[in-house]
Structure 1
Amino acid sequence: MKQIKTILGKIKHKKTAFTLIEMAVVLFIISLLMLLILPNLNNQRKKAAATQSDAMVSVVQTQVSLYENETDDNDVTYADLVSDKYLTDKQAKKAQELGIKISGTNVSK
């Protein structure tokens, strides 16, 4: 009985590190998960950028409409909206970076 305990103790004591095969399996599983997750992150990033762009078009259109209603000016520019505090400088710059155009009182991308 004592011999069995010493043998089991030695067997348990010998296994202190991971084997090369175990490490390879773990790395393989991690790489598979990365292959599944990374493309999804890129799609989500693109979707978020498109949503932001659509929201910015809506904001600019709303501010152009407010400006037109209050000033009866049918030719609105970003400079007008910023100078009369309908848009901040940051909003106007971002809208221009996104390619949002104001023609008259219509906003388009």
Structure 2
Amino acid sequence: MKKSELLGARKQWSGFTLIEMSIVMFIISLLILIILPNIGKQRDNARGVGNQALGDVVQTQADLYRNETDKEVVTLEDLKGSGYLNEKQYNEAKKAKIKVEVEK
């Protein structure tokens, strides 16, 4: 092998150019712009589904309470005091402003 061939092999660079890095950063930025708004929507959707499920639990417990006590009007405090709702369910229901519906 000639000496000039060995020197030529050493001059090859291995790495990324500034343009390649800029393109990668641009693609990552686009992906972030697409993903972040969807995360917020999914969080709101999950919160709504959770509140709906909690509302169903509260209403079911209120119906059970009415069947056992023959009371017409039931409050969240009645359900909590009688053990139909635990402390966490009570606090979440108050926070979500869930109301007990009157049985028809």
Task: Answer whether TM exceeds 0.5 for this pair.
Answer: yes
Runs of 5+ in structure 1 lacking a partner? none
Aligned pairs, number: 103
Q: In 1, distance between residues paired with 2:34 and 2:81?
A: 48
Partner of residue 7, structure 1: 8
Counterpart residue type for residue 6 of structure 2: K
The question of 1:38 aligning with 2:42 is answered: no
Residue 78 (structure 2) aligned to one of 77, 80, 84: 80
Q: In 2, distance between residues paired with 1:96 and 1:104?
A: 17
Identity %: 46
The question of 1:49 aligning with 2:47 is answered: yes
Residue 68 (structure 1) aligned to one of 66, 69, 93: 66
Runs (4+) of structure 1 moved beyond 3 Å?
103-106
Runs of 5+ in structure 2 lacking a partner? none
Say if 2:59 and 2:101, in contact at 8 Å, map to a contact too.
no
Counterpart residue type for residue 72 of structure 1: D
SS in structure 2 of the partner of residue 101 of structure 1: coil
Say if 2:76 and 2:90, in contact at 8 Å, map to a contact too.
yes
Counterpart residue type for residue 76 of structure 2: Y
Counterpart residue type for residue 9 of structure 2: L
Q: In 2, distance between residues paired with 1:77 and 1:58?
A: 15
Q: In 2, distance between residues paired with 1:83 and 1:41?
A: 38
Instruction: Flag the structure with higher strand content.
Output: 1
